[in-house]
Structure 1
């Protein structure tokens, strides 16, 4: 990345205030403003950790690790009080990683930017926090409070676990008798045989609603670890996500609730299914549908005249999702255009998988016919379309796509507040 001027540290006045005045002015900050160093081993019922030199600018090219331990039988709850790291959609440059345990633990999350996540809860009395910075842009770093809490159990087990049977179910703690508890983290790792995929469906779903699912949420990942680059979707609210099919033989489902509002929760079901035969394979004679029939509809579709029909208003209601954004990547694959859109605003989310890091949001869009409608990298658009099972937006030749101008926002806001 090109070097950028570091952001100024927090106001100098805060550094000059006596500790007692500082504590009164900022009750959320730890008393007597300790000096934070690069990592350390901390223990007890509660305490604070912070980036090296906080509230000054953290140093470049560093990796700092904090090992937190609370009393046996309790779990660790980590709450960020302040977060200011270089912002990136996938948190690739400066970031804070949170893990269960002290060694080889499962990653609970990775964070950057300035938007604080909800409370993070370990599954034992140990948690590891690691902050990494690159050579360039820096900020003031972070400060977070850790505290001990009673574990929330379901029966005599923690929620989550490894699921290897050909089919099964998983649900939030307390389901269906009462709301899920506050401050809980559950991770279900589903593993199928190598030659099979996993189909996932949510039967009932009610998780605290937020436009960006920042507080309570369910996140689903391809593979066996929490990795934003492999995230299929992040879900909250009271509408069940669309059915999900894994890319390979592993899925990871993470549920997290913060320390405030709760809701009914959810129950989900999964089953293993064989991989589909590739279209180049000769199908058995007992199969009535030839493999080429899968391709024909798309070819015919892309031979049609490229013409947008209807109006902004009529397309709004018929579309699964409506967003405005800037096209930041555009790659041709098998006759379609695969684009990443940096989102300006979300007017209708549906089941569109939206990735968030700090204040930045993005979504993956497939333009089925590569030049119909024609979109170009670096330009702003209003995009309306349908959503695939994996959460990607799908744009057809008759989907409503147009250049976005600031004046369009008024119409879109009016449509957002009107019931279809």
Structure 2
């Protein structure tokens, strides 16, 4: 039986764990109160060079709540190749986010009774696509389970659901879009803060972005733990604050305040020094990087001689490689970890990945799609740092045996 992804109701969720499952097609107009949307051909690999659009409409007076159950698209820091866009409304709506890789956002909530999903793929596909469920909710229910909104007043407050009476609920996403006049910037301060603690804020967390949407390239920081982050200043006149809680532990939550400031106020962002691992990319000081990159690009020593002097040793596939300034910023899908140190490793299902910065973009040269052995240092944000004198080489299966021996080495 051919099911249009536009016509699935919630009971069909039961089919998703068994066979035979529904067959998902490319896009559709959806007028159900709840249902399931899947990329074309899910769970098979989605086709290349496609653009699919799903338009969801629920009854007037209700809002659309969308939750991704699974996402596996070609990974890229900026989601430039394959991605899913989610918009509030059908025409000229606010984009709630752009998603790729295996990052699964929390629930996304429209401001009215319409929502639009658009999935785009380029010539090279790399994954099973996505599966999402949606349902209609009464807009007044948002006070308890849902939160966020568009903040336009010169000053105001934002807080987690249930604050301060009880812990925030599990499985919610709140997005506050703060918009100041064009000639002003926004200052954000947290008065109280208690969000499930994790060294890399992988579970419950608050992210703050310059601009009106979720965009890793414009992320100011990612925060969790029980100490308030330092004050944050926007670069322009818009900020997006997103709070996400997963389905397990919860905590007290937070209350924060914002206010508009004249643009002449210094616009340097103050990064937190306490409870979090901020995701903001700190540039390498120019003098240091220029001097460093004048060194002759030549690998020194052997696997054995570099093992103990390195903070981390991994093998992995380069998924993305983006030049920023004089450095190369790469995302590496990990094959094996031989020495972890303080390297920040993200896990989605069985897939592990990490961020590595090649301080001198041409030394060593790495290419997207190829496998390497990486040995290097780790910065204070948990990213791998590779300088010209560090050890990087193409990884072949024959290297596995030597690396396994080194893993047991006492340094």
Q: TM-score, normalised by structure 2?
A: 0.63
Instruction: State the alpha-carbon separation in 2 of the partners of residues 214 and 24 from structure 1.
Output: 30
Task: Pick the aligned partner of 2:236 from 225, 248, 268.
Answer: 248
The answer (yes or no) to whether the contact 1:77–1:183 under 8 Å persists in 2 is no
Query: What are the superposed Cα offsets for residues 120-169 of structure 1, whole Å, 9 maximum, x if unpaired?
Result: 444444322211111222433223222334554449x953322441x443
Q: Is the 8 A contact 1:324 1:382 kept in 2?
A: no
Question: 1:36 matched to which residue of 2?
Answer: 24
Corresponding residue of 1:15:
none
What SS does structure 2 have at the residue aligned with 1:159?
Answer: strand
Moved more, 402-411 or 117-126: 402-411
Which of the numbers 329, 334, 341 marks the counterpart of 1:340? 329
Among candidates 53, 56, 68, match of residue 65 of structure 1: 53
User: Does 2:377 correspond to 1:383?
Assistant: yes
CA 1:323–1:385 in structure 2 vs 1: closer, same or farther (change >3 Å)?
farther
Given that 2:321 and 2:331 are in contact with CA atoms closer than 8 Å, whether structure 1 keeps it comes out as: no
Of the three residues 224, 227, 237, the one matched with 1:236 is 224
Residues 408/196 of structure 1: CA separation in 2 closer, same or farther (3 Å cut): farther
Determine if the alignment matches structure 1 residue 171 to structure 2 residue 149.
no
Residue among 73, 77, 89 paired with 1:85: 73
Give yes or no for contact 1:323–1:383 (8 Å, CA) kept in 2: no
Q: 1:203 to 1:58 in 2, by over 3 A?
A: same
CA-to-partner distance for each residue in 1:349-380, whole Å, 9 max, x for gaps?
89x9x999x9575658697xx89xx9745383
Q: CA deviation at 1:73?
A: 4.5
Is the Cα contact below 8 Å between 2:147 and 2:173 reproduced in 1?
Answer: no
Q: Secondary structure at the match of 2:148?
A: coil
Q: C-alpha separation between the residues in 1 aligned to 2:289 and 2:129? A: 51
8 A Cα contact 2:331 2:356, kept in partner: no
Helix, strand or coil for the counterpart of 2:22? coil
CA contact (8 A) 1:222 1:247 kept: yes
Contact in 1 for aligned 2:107/2:173 (Cα 8 Å): no
Aligned to 1:160: 149
Corresponding residue number in structure 1 for 2:33: 45
Q: Distance in 2 between matches of 1:177 and 1:323?
A: 47
Give me the TM-score of the superposition, normalised by structure 1.
0.62
The range that moved more, 60-69 or 230-239, is 230-239
8 A contact 1:159–1:173 mirrored in 2? no
Question: Matched residue of 1:224: which SS?
Answer: coil
Q: Tell me which residue corresponds to 1:54.
A: 42
Deviations 1:154-195 (A, max 9, x none): 49x953322441x44322222222222344433222334444
Task: Return the alpha-carbon distance in structure 2 between the equivalents of residues 300 and 260 of structure 1.
Answer: 44
Are 1:145 and 2:133 matched, yes or no? Answer: yes
Between the aligned partners of 1:243 and 1:215, the Cα distance in structure 2 is 22
Q: 1:269 aligns with which of 257, 261, 279?
A: 257
Please list the CA deviations of residues 196-240 of structure 1 after superposition, one character each: whole Å capped at 9, or x if unmatched.
Answer: 433333333233455665554322111122223322233334454
Matched, 1:198 2:186: yes
What are the superposed Cα offsets for residues 299-338 of structure 1, whole Å, 9 maximum, x if unpaired? 799999x9xxxxx99x99xxxxx998999768685xxx54
Other structure's SS at 1:229 match: helix
Which segments of 5 or more consecutive residues in structure 2 lack a partner in the other structure? Answer: 1-10, 268-284, 296-306, 367-371, 394-402
Higher relative contact order by CA 8 Å / sep ≥ 6: 1 or 2?
1
2:89 is the counterpart of 1:95: no
Once residues 330 and 33 of structure 1 are traced to their aligned partners in structure 2, the CA distance between those partners, rounded to angstroms, is: 39
* CA drift at 1:348: 4.4
Alignment size in residue pairs: 346
Q: Does the residue aligned with 1:102 lie in a helix, a strand or coil? A: coil
Q: Distance in 2 between matches of 1:199 and 1:323?
A: 40
The structural deviation recorded for 1:37 is 1.7
Structure 1 residues not aligned, in runs of 5+: 1-22, 279-296, 307-311, 317-321, 415-420
* Aligned mates of 2:230, 2:148 — CA distance in 1: 23
**1: distance between equivalents of 2:189 and 2:241?**
12
